[in-house]
């Protein structure tokens, strides 16, 4: 089966940097996604990693290590609007994505 682990909740200060970790155990691997989801809204795509290494997109970066079954999402220069749930999703060998429970990030002034 598939197992995705990420912290339930994190807090950080406006302007700071935060790293949200995700570890996974899957049968096969066909990519890892990060999504942002504000309460009551749909998920918004942030990043997709299928090869090892760091992908940078503006204030957000995502890292993948397939051998360690590990990824992180790095958010820089945090803003209040970054308060949301961050979802890690892994596509296993079947191409079906499995989502983690999400990490609720609270950004305070």
Partner 1 sequence: EPEVTQTPSHQVTQMGQEVILRCVPISNHLYFYWYRQILGQKVEFLVSFYNNEISEKSEIFDDQFSVERPDGSNFTLKIRSTKLEDSAMYFCASSEMGGLADNEQFFGPGTRLTVL
Which residues would be at the binding site for partner 1 (CB under 8 A)? 30-31, 33, 35, 37, 41-45, 48, 50, 87, 89, 94-102
Pick 23 or 37: Cβ nearer partner 1 = 37
Convert 19-30 to b/e letters by CB count within 10 Å (16 or more is b): ebebbbebeeee
Pick 43 or 69: Cβ nearer partner 1 = 43
For residue 81, the minimal CB distance to partner 1 (Å) is: 18
For residue 44, the minimal CB distance to partner 1 (Å) is: 7
For residue 16, the minimal CB distance to partner 1 (Å) is: 27
Pick 78 or 103: Cβ nearer partner 1 = 103
Task: Evaluate whether 83 touches 106 at the Cβ level (below 8 Å).
Answer: yes
- The DSSP result for 47-88, as a single string, is EEE-SSEEEEETTEEEEEETTTTEEEEEE-S--GGG-EEEEE
């Amino acid at each position: 089966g598939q197992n995705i682990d990420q912290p339930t909740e994190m807090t950080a200060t406006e302007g700071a940097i935060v790293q949200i970790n995700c570890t996974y155990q899957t049968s096969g691997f066909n990519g890892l996604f990060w999504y942002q989801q504000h309460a009551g809204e749909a998920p918004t795509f942030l990043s997709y990693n299928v090869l090892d290494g760091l992908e940078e997109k503006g204030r957000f970066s995502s890292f993948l290590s397939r051998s360690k079954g590990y990824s992180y999402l790095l958010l820089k220069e945090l803003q209040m609007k970054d308060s949301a749930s961050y979802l890690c999703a892994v596509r296993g060998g079947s191409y079906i994505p499995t989502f983690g429970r999400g990490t609720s990030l609270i950004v305070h002034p």
